[in-house]
Amino acid sequence: MPKGKEFWSRDFARRFGHAGLVADKDKYLFATEAPKYRFNVIGAGTMGQEHIRVTNFEGRGRINGVYDPEPLSVENARTAHALYSDEPLKIFASLQEACEDPDADALIICTPNYTHIDVVRIAAKSGKLVLVEKPVATTIVDAYEIAQIAEKHPAIFQVGLQYRYKSIYTEAIHEALERKTLGDIKVVSMVEHRMPFLDKVGQWNKFSRFSGGTLVEKCCHYFDLINLFAQSRPKRVFASGSMAVNFKEFDHDRGKSDILDNAMVVIEYENGVRGSFALAMFAPMFYEEIVVCGDIGRLRASENLDFLPGLPLKSQLEIFGGETYPSRMTTPSYPVTIEESGHSGATFFEHVHFIDSIDNAASNGPTAMDAFWSVVVGVAAETSVATGQPVDIADLLKQNGLGQL
């Protein structure tokens, strides 16, 4: 990742404008390396534009072109690109043209969830570097096919499970999995309270058949993190949820919305670890929390974005060691400009790790198989809500033709 003066001076210079006060020939502290890689963005909606913004801000890559059949998304991408570059933005007439473009080194796939499988099938044929947004697919079968494609892919293939790079989770991973501060992990619980799903082109995220369901679409981030902390495969999932508040009167040409807006999920793992997740998508705030308990310590980390006056803590991490080691409290964060670039800075560091992986010719980010298991838990949870019964993961995999995993 960027280090030393090259890293902090870029942020400082962009925030306060000092980079424009001297000619390029006179720059040392504010000098930046020329971009090394060119990316084509497939799908230029909300997330596509975030990737355009972050690619330019991170600096080691540049946006070469976009493909999106929605004219407004293309125009918005032009506007976003023009803020950073005087070069014209290529607009591709087809997915195949964008994937086969000889000027592009990598493809960033940000299309609606249900299209990922078809896009990846074409993108993989190019042999280019790939970053595909979460969830990797909406079904277990499609997610497994993408994992198999990724395993055989000759270049880096990373999945956009960027919550791993949020400051609170980066620190929690370091404490629990690298420093082993908590000892052997036994219990992992997570919470998300937030506002409803935002508007999307065609409102695809209001329908389970397009999104995979709320517990796949939104919650795969959290299931990925719980899987990561558990360090084991899920064994059984039980969930309860409903459509209590949001979009109950939503009527669209695609029909009535059918997505959950609240749920509680319990996950049992093969190694005995237990995980839980609680969701409410009608809260007037954005609040996330993780609690990890080991046999010698406890960790709690949270992030809060609300609309109240004053200066409340945005992020917080607590380590409790009891009589074993010192307890402490910290406030993990990134520089303001990075946090404002998208997903509390997580997308920026996702790009950092993606480009580091390219430079090192070795994957340094969430794999397609990690993404597959996050989809498995999400589908199991959606199934459990629908049936009112616990879901055995082995049985679920067999039902999907994957009994040998």
Please report, for the domain that includes residue 120, its CATH number: 3.40.50.720
Tell me the per-residue pLDDT of 176-231, one tens digit each, with 9 for 90 and over.
999 999 999 999 999 999 999 999 999 999 999 999 999 999 999 999 999 999 99
Q: Rounded to a whole number, what is the largest CA-CA distance in the chain? A: 68
Q: Are residues 205 and 121 in the same domain?
A: no
Q: Are residues 12 and 75 in the same domain?
A: yes
Both structure tokens of 342: 């998208």
Listed residues 108, 143, 161: the one ending a domain: 161
Which has the higher per-residue pLDDT, 281 or 308? 281
Q: Are residues 274 and 380 in the same domain?
A: yes
For residue 190, tell me if it sits in a domain: yes
Helix ranges (H only) for 346-399 are 346-360, 368-387, 393-399
For residue 379, tell me if it sits in a domain: yes
For residue 259, tell me if it sits in a domain: yes
Whether the pLDDT of residue 4 is over 80: the answer is no
Q: Are residues 121 and 192 in the same domain?
A: no
For residue 352, tell me if it sits in a domain: no
Both structure tokens of 273: 């670890």
CATH number at residue 215: 3.30.360.10
pLDDT of residue 140: 98
Q: Are residues 138 and 197 in the same domain?
A: no
Q: Are residues 306 and 381 in the same domain?
A: yes
CB 181 within 8 A of CB 175: yes
Question: Could you tell me whether strands 234-242 and 262-269 are parallel, antiparallel, or unpaired per DSSP bridges?
Answer: antiparallel
pLDDT above 70 as % of the chain: 94
Domain that holds residue 381: 164-338+365-399
Tell me the per-residue pLDDT of 76-123, one tens digit each, with 9 for 90 and over.
999 999 988 889 999 999 999 999 999 999 999 999 999 999 999 999
Q: Are residues 147 and 184 in the same domain?
A: no
Residue with tokens 């679409």, as numbered in its chain: 217
Whether the pLDDT of residue 19 is over 70: the answer is no
Tell me the per-residue pLDDT of 357-369, one tens digit each, with 9 for 90 and over.
999 999 888 999 9
For residue 347, tell me if it sits in a domain: no
pLDDT above 90 as % of the chain: 84
- Give the residue from 202, 211, 216, 203 showing the smallest Cα distance to 70: 202
When pLDDT is averaged across residues 141-157 and rounded to a whole number, the result is 98
For residue 353, tell me if it sits in a domain: no
Listed residues 161, 192, 207: the one ending a domain: 161
Reduced to 3 states (helix: H, G, I; strand: E, B; else coil), residue 166 is coil
Reduced to 3 states (helix: H, G, I; strand: E, B; else coil), residue 62 is strand
Listed residues 161, 179, 207: the one ending a domain: 161
When pLDDT is averaged across residues 156-164 and rounded to a whole number, the result is 97
pTM score: 0.94
Q: Are residues 117 and 49 in the same domain?
A: yes
Q: Are residues 92 and 193 in the same domain?
A: no
Q: If 0-12 CB within 10 Å is exposed, 13-18 middle and 19+ buried, where does residue 269 land? A: buried
**Strand arrangement, sheet containing 157-160:** 90-91, 61-67, 37-42, 106-109, 129-133, 157-160
For residue 15, tell me if it sits in a domain: yes
| Distance separating alpha carbons of residues 297 and 323, to the nearest angstrom | 9
Give the chain's domain count.
2
